[in-house]
Amino acid sequence: MSSLTRRSLLSKLAFAVPALAEKTENHTLIHVFLRGGADTLNLWVPYADDRYYRLRPSLAIQAPGTAANAAIRLNDRYALHPAMKPLEAAFKEGRLGAVQSVGVDNTSGSHFECQDQMEHGDSMHGTPAGGGWLGRYLRLRAGDNPSPLSAVAIGTALPESLRGAPAVSVLERIEDISIKAPAGKAEAVVSALNAMYGADVTMLGERGVETLDLFRRISTLQHGNDAPAHGAKYPESPFGKGLREIARVIQARLGLQVACIDLGGWDTHFFQGNSSGTQAEQIQLLAHGLAALETDLKDHRANYTIMITTEFGRRVYENASLGTDHGRGFTLMALGDRVKGGQVIGGWPIQADDDVNVNTPGPGGLVMETDYRHVFAEVLHGSLGLTNHEAEQLFPGMIPRKVGLM
């Protein structure tokens, strides 16, 4: 083949094969996992319930309007922790929503078991399935010609939820994705790969050229203006930096379908604090980070959905060391254009009667009302188009139920 015809073939290929990564309808699910069992009762404060104040004499967040550091009123029942201020607007715009009393049916109270069950998408009463729930989902879709960057986990270890995925990148910085050619030889390597894959007329050749294109676009990202868009300011922390990396991948339209990121530090057994203190700092990190991401992605609002979960909530009553112990249900949050926000779905979280026996071990007042899998399935449906049939394969034995979050 003469070099002229090859060149024309190459250019033909470039037009004939729209890089998958450029599909405009591409949507990303950002999965934020609050590790340690977050006390969501102090995030979404049930200020209209006297029992909340009676059982948490030191830890309760003041009712709206009663103090400088009071909770931020959302409606007649709920208020947000003051550190959630950056996300207040999203709730009012109807982009931030929550489901009350979500949980796993594992009663062990073990961080490990409950995280494990949730990340594998299992239930104590069903048939456990293999792999992580997101890994399984991506496998179901593996025939759709996935981007090499269809799944990204921020950090250094593969989260269980992504186990079994067809291709998954664990990274701390987008710079981790580059041609690892010996120093100074990247250009020569790229041009040789371009020539060899360009000359290959099979699917392998196409995907090679696409992959090179992906590298090229990432490298322009790396060398371009690196400041977040619209003056977004991320918190100075691994969490803030990780969110920024996710935003960059979304902005570059690289075919990202699922991004996983963790925020730890929620296991507040002692000195949890209230409107300030240990937990308030974590909440601030979460709210600031997500608000910055929202600003950064202002031009991409239709292209992502954020789901924030934890393995279990904490008990209503505080313990003697001014903390809270492991409970069951928690408040699951979701943020995005496709979320039916501005509401807290589900019943009143505190179901205990007035004389909660604080000496009884166990869930202590917080119930699990909604199976977490129903919410996960609905969020996947709303964000990535999970079908009913796929939902049954993804969560064996689960009968899908409408939650109303998406």
Partner 1 sequence: MKQARRDLLKSAAWGWSALALTGCDRITTAVNREWLGEGIPERLIPPQDVQIDLDFHLLSRAAFGPWPGDVMQLKKVGRDAWIEEQLHPESIADSACDLRAERFESIYFSAGDAYEFRKPVLRDELTRHSLLRAIYSRRQLFEVMVEFWTDHLNIDLEKGDCIYLKPSDDRDVIRKHALGNFHDLIRASATSPAMLVYLDGKTNMVRKGTHDQPNENYARELMELHTLGVHGGYTQEDVREAARCLSGWTFDAKRVFAFNQSESYFRPDWHDDGEKRILGQSIPKGGGASDLDRLVDIVCQHPSTAAFIALKLCRRFVSPNPPQALVKRVSETFTQTNGDIPSLLRVILKSEEFANSRGQLLKRPFKFMVSALRALAVDTQAEKGLLEPLQRMGHGLFQYPTPDGYPDEELPWMGTLMWRWNFVLALGSNKQLGTKIDIRPLNQALSETKSAPDIDRWFAHLIGRQPSEDELKSLRASAQDIPTTIGLILASPAFQRC
Q: Is residue 72 within a helix (H) or strand (E), and if so which, with residue range?
A: strand 72-73
Among the listed residues 67, 124, 203, 399, the single contact to partner 1 using CB under 8 A = 203
Q: Please select the residue that binds partner 1; options are 58, 75, 191, 321, rule is CB under 8 A.
A: 191
Length of the chain: 406
Query: Pick from 67, 89, 124, 196: which binds partner 1 (CB under 8 A)?
Result: 196
Under the criterion CB under 8 A, does residue 125 sit at the interface with partner 1? no
Token pair 């119930």 is at which residue?
Answer: 367
* Closest approach of partner 1 to the CB of residue 116, in Å: 9
1/16 with CB nearer partner 1: 1
CA atoms of 167 and 145, how far apart (whole Å): 11
**CB environment 333-356: b (16+ within 10 A), e (fewer):** bbbbebbebbbbbbeebbebeeeb
Indicate whether 53 belongs to the interface with partner 1 (CB under 8 A): no
The CB-of-134 to partner 1 minimum distance in angstroms stands at 11
CB 383 within 8 A of CB 27: yes
Q: Judged by CB, which is closer to partner 1: 33, or 234?
A: 33
Residue 400 is encoded by which pair of tokens?
């899908």
Residue 316 in contact with residue 330, Cβ under 8 Å? no
Beta bridge partners of 332: 99
Q: Note whether 405 binds partner 1 by CB under 8 A.
A: no
Residue 384 CB contacts under 8 Å (≥ 6 apart), including other chains? 27, 29, 137, 257, 258
Residues 6-25 that bind partner 1 (CB under 8 A): 6
37 counts as binding partner 1 under rule CB under 8 A: no
Question: Does the protein bind partner 1 through residue 179 (CB under 8 A)?
Answer: yes
What six digits make up the tokens of 71?
């909770």
Q: Is 182 among the residues that bind partner 1 (CB under 8 A)? A: yes
CB 331 within 8 Å of CB 308: no
Shortest distance, position 208 Cβ to partner 1, whole Å: 6
Contact status: 127 vs partner 1 (CB under 8 A): yes
Query: How far is Cα 367 from Cα 363, in angstroms, rounded to an integer?
Result: 7
Task: Calculate Rg over the CA atoms of the chain.
Answer: 23
Interface residue with partner 1 among 214, 260, 334, 379 (CB under 8 A) is: 214
199 near partner 1, judged by CB under 8 A: yes
135 lines the binding site for partner 1 (CB under 8 A): yes
Where along the sequence are the contacts to partner 1 (CB under 8 A)?
A: 1, 6, 120, 127-132, 135-136, 139, 142-143, 145-148, 150, 158, 160, 163-170, 177, 179-182, 185, 188-189, 191-193, 195-197, 199-200, 202-205, 207-208, 211, 214-215
